[in-house]
Amino acid sequence: MAKYKIELDEKTCIGCKACTVVCENFIPDGDKAKVVNDTIEQSEFKINKEAEEACPVKCITITKIEDKEE
């Protein structure tokens, strides 16, 4: 099964907390947000993708990790 890497650019994050409302894999961290698990399974992809799409400054990036790299 494919896995995905989640990255959150804290420099770009404006701390709006939209991602933390959408997906529990994102939590408030001071005036920013942070990722709880930066590697997720296929089953978690959809909700994390929704958080990525909810981010107004597009600072969340989800990248597929090829199986062979694991």
Task: Report the interface residues with ligand SF4, using CB under 6 A.
Answer: 8, 13-19, 26, 33, 54-55, 57, 59-60
Least separation in angstroms between CB 67 and ligand SF4: 28
Question: What span, in angstroms and rounded, lies between the C-alpha atoms of 57 and 70?
Answer: 30
CB nearer to ligand SF4: pick between 56 and 67: 56
| Structure token pair of residue 57 | 């400054």
Nearest approach, Cβ of 8 to ligand SF4 (angstroms)? 5
Q: Which residues contact 53 (CB under 8 A, 6 or more apart)?
A: none
